[in-house]
Homo-oligomer: A and B are copies of this chain.
Amino acid sequence: MKENNQVSVPVIKRLPRYHRYLEELKKMGVVRISSKELSVRMGLTASQIRQDFNCFGGFGQQGYGYNIEQLYNEIGNILGINNKSKAILIGAGNLGHAIATHLNFQNKGFELISIFDNNPEVVGTTVGGLVVLNSNDLEEFCKKEKPDIAILCIPAEYAAENADKLVSLGIKGFWNFTQYDLVHRYENIAVENVHLGDSLMTLCYQINEIDKGVEG
């Protein structure tokens, strides 16, 4: 699939959203949808949608709209969600616990194969069907199981040190829930940051703007 090597990051970022909408439409039994209808649902322009899909070679037929099942599968293929990369989770605190139990990794391209923590009270307990392992065993585990990504649910001050170690053990990507920005630390390592605090502050700004509008 050489043609999508040049796809821009904003397009890539929209693909999971398309995938999510198409899944919903599929569940509702819809078979075809026009870029216009899809655009109304998603709050994008129809031309934006056509442009995005053209990056991957189309999928649509002029005047007939898009076949939802086909489009859904194609986008899934582009995202690579059928490859089932191996994920490990570092830090089984409240957030790690929620991540492990709340999300369906399987249909997002991953298999959560293990959870690590350094708290003796947590090690040995079961979280989301997995026994929490001791962080001391991480090295041996990685050499044997070769996980692809690590989910970091640890305090920010341990993020850099842990990430360095994990990269040295062959980890190729991070789903980073720490406040620490890993993006610019490594080359050729994938990073998705989920900065919940930043999101909350952005909401704070929006709320205050609304309040100003009301009061002004």
Contact = CB atoms under 8 A, between A and B. Distances in A.
Contacts of A12: 202, 205
Contact of A190 (B105, B188, B210): B210
Contact of A16 (B93, B110, B184, B201): B201
Interface stretch (A59-67, A95-103, A137-145): A95-103
Interface in A162-198: 172-173, 175, 179, 181, 183-184, 188-192, 194-198
B204 A199 contact: no
Q: Which of A102, A211, A213 has the most CB of B within 10 A?
A: A102
Instruction: Give this chain's copy count.
Output: 2
Given A172-B210, A210-B190, A205 B78 contact: yes
Interface string A3-37: 00100000011011101100000000000000000
Interface in A134-168: 148-149
A205 B101 contact: no
Nearest to A9: B202
A73 interface: no
Interface of A: 5, 12-13, 15-17, 19-20, 42-43, 78-81, 83, 85, 93-95, 97-99, 101-105, 108-110, 148-149, 172-173, 175, 179, 181, 183-184, 188-192, 194-211, 213
21 contacts: A16-B195, A16-B197, A19-B201, A20-B197, A43-B183, A79-B204, A79-B205, A81-B204, A83-B204, A94-B97, A97-B98, A98-B98, A108-B201, A108-B204, A109-B201, A109-B207, A173-B203, A191-B203, A191-B206, A194-B194, A194-B196
